[in-house]
Amino acid sequence: MEESDFFSAMTMVSAAILVGGAAIGSALGVGSVGAKLIESTARQPSEASMLQNKAFLMAGMLDAIPILSVAIALLLLFSNPLA
């Protein structure tokens, strides 16, 4: 196995770990936001619309993280600046 083959394989593994870790972290974050939204709405039903708006904003911010990680992974895979 040549050094370039090993480097390519490790790049693919690192990109997979990057995307997978970001997806798992984002899923846990969105789940936590949803759980807190339900809990807060149960405590203060009159504030449900304001809480829902803030929860959707936070969920959108949490979803931006995997999108950025996919962009970094594609950068590593197709035009590797480290090679």
Q: In Å, what is the CA distance from 40 to each residue of 31, 53, 56?
A: 14, 13, 14
Q: Which of 47, 63, 67, 72 is catalytic?
A: 63
Whether 63 is a known active-site residue: answer yes
Residues in the chain: 83
* Alpha-carbon span 41 to 64, nearest angstrom: 25
* Alpha-carbon span 46 to 42, nearest angstrom: 10
Active-site residues, by number, are 63
